[in-house]
A and B are shown apart, each in its own frame.
Chain A
Amino acid sequence: MAASDADKFSVLLPTYNERENLPLVVWLLARTFRESGTDFEIVIIDDGSPDGTREVAEQLEKLYGPERIVTRGFTSVLFSSGTAYIHGMKHATGNFIIIMDADLSHHVSLYSIKQKEGNFDIVSGTRYKGNGGVYGWDLKRKLISRGANFITQVLLRPGASDLTGSFRLYRKEVLQKLMEKCVSKGYVFQMEMIVRARQLGYTVGEVPISFVDRVYGESKLGGNEIVSFLKGLLTLFATT
């Protein structure tokens, strides 16, 4: 089914030390959804942030109302992205789930979130196609990104141009099914989701996104990240 007026979108936002970003992301999301007249809710899953993110989330819940902002279900055990989503889904009441980083990397107002939902089971944001792109990346970072993506395409043939970006829209049942099947941790988990989705026959659409480099804080892309990426990639290569 394509998106209709009866649809509700649940945005899952895992946060860790996003005290400054969180209100801005919520504000942008709320504006985008209101402008398109879409029913929505934002589920904030905080990982016990020491910087007061949780208090900000609770303020936002008062500001926007508990139907729009859901902040129940905090844990303070350090968990990876995968378990944050499982946790978040328990509290999500929408029939479409949006997963995105709460760090302002994804410029929310660029996507007409409903638009690309031409009956796809999954819609994935891509930095590599159309007018998707990045901002504030030096040549080295771009090269590593393109190189890593090329190796991924050759080895996994995933049918999606960008596996490591993290803006995705899923049908709720599809996400639940995939969560059961995927075992990786961290961002390799995101890659595994798309690969398994193709294997299970789900349809994947793409939307160009612009990845604006973190306005606050720093991004991490050191030697360690590269090594762990390759390990994750080879694991997927051998197991999917």
Chain B
Amino acid sequence: MTKLCQWLLGLALLGSAWAALTLTPQGLCLPAPYREVLLPLPIYLLVAFGCYSLATVGYRLATFNDCEEAAAELRGDIAAARADLRRRGLRA
């Protein structure tokens, strides 16, 4: 099953469960307070996911390593490589 199918299946299952519990008049005999919570649940989850995404990306952005030593080491290597290759007769 492709990822798309997995998502569609998951959404269909959760969606129909939610609809059955909150949208039908009898609501499977669920007491009123439960229905009040369940009704806006999809929106809440969406917003919560949005906040999680922002926080995660923000955190990862802040902790993205800058490789100063690697760049310096590379510059040194390049100089050594060029000198050695020139010595060995490479005409670039």
Say if the beta carbon of B68 comes within 8 Å of chain A: yes
Cα separation A150 to B78 with both chains bound (whole Å):
34
Any chain B CB within 8 A of the CB of A132?
yes
For residue A156, give the distance in angstroms from its CB to the closest CB of chain B: 6
CA distance A156 to B6 in the complex (A): 11
A212 touches B71 (CB 8 A): yes
Residues A133 and B73 in contact in the complex (CB < 8 Å), given A27-B81, A143-B61, A238-B2: no
Known contacts A28-B81, A238-B4; A110/B61 CB under 8 A? no
Asked if A60 CB lies within 8 Å of chain B CBs, one says: yes
Given contacts A20-B92, A28-B81, A59-B90, contact A135 B67 (CB under 8 A): yes
Interface size class of A (residues with CB under 8 A): 35 or more
Contacts of B85 in A (CB 8 A): 23, 27, 63
Q: Is B2 in contact with A133, judged by CB distance below 8 angstroms? A: no
Question: A residues bordering B, Cβ < 8 Å?
Answer: 19-20, 23-24, 27-28, 56, 59-60, 63, 104, 107, 109-110, 128, 131-137, 139, 142-143, 145-147, 149-150, 154-157, 210-212, 215, 236-240
